[in-house]
Structure 1
Amino acid sequence: MNTNIFRNMSYGVYIVGTMDQDRPTGCIANSIMQITSSPATIAVSINHDNYTNSCIEKTGRFSFSILSEESPADLIGTFGFQSGKDVNKFDSVDYEMVEGVPVVKNTCGYVVCKVIDKMETATHTVFLGEVIAAETYEGAAPEMTYAYYHKVVKGKSPKNAPTYLPDEEVSQSTTKVSYVCQVCGYVFEGDPLPADFICPVCKQGADKFKRVEV
């Protein structure tokens, strides 16, 4: 079975937000879709290992902010490659509260939902939410697609994402020598890697990069 075909499917890149008691938390997701228009309902798939999963279960409410092509790349590092159980992810993010959950600014906009049903799979929970609020941010760039994230930002999917493929680190390299960030998967093409290089996605230093020859 050639799972690379999944990369040809259409996905966006989103930050799912919810509450962990009195503090906001969230994670990166790319498997979100509208199910019906009236009433508007949304399905979102969240890995069982994501701390956000249990928080949505407890609060019964979630948001998702739609990343644009000009959204800061480190948003993906913040929300996709560390756990909300250990880090207050929203501390370094410009956000606002809408209907009791956080939404991220500097994005295309947001949707807020209350959970009305769910389905369990072997690895993920699919939450079905009824839309209770939605807004666009004026002047936003086009939405970031999954393909754009891989080809232009040159990042990889978080390990808990439905679209994660184990061979992503090697397959992204297009030169004989490149350096791959071991935290977020960003690929620096060229040799050598500058000693003072900082990953544009997760802000890690050159010591977190691995040299790859293809």
Structure 2
Amino acid sequence: MNTMIFRDMSYGVYVTTSLDGDRPVGCITNSIMQITSDPATIAVSVNHDNYTNSCIAKTGKFAFSILSENSDPSLIGTFGFQSSREADKFKDVDMEMAAGLPVIKDSCGYVVCRVIDTMETQTHTVFLGEVIEAESYGKSDNAMTYAYYHKVVRGKAPKNAPTYLPEVDGKDTPSTEEKKTGKWVCQVCGYVYEGDELPADFKCPVCGQGADKFKKVE
């Protein structure tokens, strides 16, 4: 079975959020789709290991912000490669509250939903939500697709992502390109830096990790 064909399917990149009491929480998701138009309903798949999963279940609400190609790549590192159990992911993030839930302003816009049903799989919960609020920030930026994230941002999928492929995302390099000298790979998110040497003060533009988290590809 050639699972690489899954990469030809269309996905977006979203920050899905909820609340832990009064504390904002969130994670990166890419498996979101509109199910019906009237009433507008949305389905989102969230891994059981994501802390946001249990928070959505408790509050009965979720929101998602649609990242654009020009959204700060560090949002993916913050919300995709850390856990809300330990980290305050919203620290230093430009956000606002919409219908009682946190949303990211550095995005195309947001949608807020009330959970009306769920479906459990072995690893993920699919939350079905009725839209109660939605807004565009009026930007002309293209929405970021997962293909853009892999090919341009050059990141790999978190292990909790529905689209995680161990044979690709579990390797040191995020693509099947021929390995070359002068390539340094972030061991957290898979970002590839190309150059003669990796600067000692270099920070990964995707997850914000320092040079000590990079491994040279021989």
Counterpart in 1 of 2:192?
A: 187
SS of corresponding position for 1:90: coil
Q: Distance in 1 between matches of 2:214 and 2:124?
A: 30
Counterpart in 2 of 1:77?
A: 77
Matched, 1:176 2:204: no
Superposition deviation, residue 140 in structure 1: 4.2
**Cα 1:59/1:149, change in 2 over 3 Å:** same
Counterpart in 1 of 2:57?
A: 57
The one-letter code of the counterpart of 1:150 is H
The one-letter code of the counterpart of 2:48 is H
Contact residue 44 and residue 127 of structure 1 kept, 8 A: yes
Instruction: For residues 32-91 of structure 1, give each alpha carbon's deviation from its aligned partner in whole angstroms, at most 9, with x where no partner exists.
Output: 000000000000000000000000000000000000011001000110000000011112
- Alpha-carbon RMSD: 1.2
Superposition deviation, residue 212 in structure 1: 1.6
Counterpart in 2 of 1:2?
A: 2
SS of corresponding position for 1:149: helix
The one-letter code of the counterpart of 1:161 is A
Contact residue 108 and residue 143 of structure 2 kept, 8 A: yes
**Cα 1:174/1:68, change in 2 over 3 Å:** farther
Superposition deviation, residue 185 in structure 1: 1.2
Q: Distance in 1 between matches of 2:208 and 2:125?
A: 30
Counterpart in 1 of 2:202?
A: 197
Superposition deviation, residue 2 in structure 1: 1.1
Q: Which runs of 5+ in 1 are unaligned?
A: none
Q: Which runs of 5+ in 2 are unaligned?
A: none
Q: TM-score scaled by structure 2? A: 0.94
Counterpart in 2 of 1:124?
A: 124
Instruction: For residues 87-117 of structure 1, give each alpha carbon's deviation from its aligned partner in whole angstroms, at most 9, with x where no partner exists.
Output: 1111221111111111100100000000000
Instruction: For residues 182-204 of structure 1, give each alpha carbon's deviation from its aligned partner in whole angstroms, at most 9, with x where no partner exists.
Output: 11111112332222221111111
State percent identity of aligned pairs: 70
The one-letter code of the counterpart of 1:75 is L
Q: Distance in 2 between matches of 1:92 and 1:156?
A: 24
Aligned residues, how many?
Answer: 213
Contact residue 112 and residue 132 of structure 1 kept, 8 A: yes
The one-letter code of the counterpart of 1:34 is Q
1:211 to 206, 211, 216: 216
Q: TM-score scaled by structure 1? A: 0.96
Contact residue 17 and residue 102 of structure 1 kept, 8 A: yes
Instruction: For residues 1-54 of structure 1, give each alpha carbon's deviation from its aligned partner in whole angstroms, at most 9, with x where no partner exists.
Output: 111111110000000010001111000000000000000000000000000000
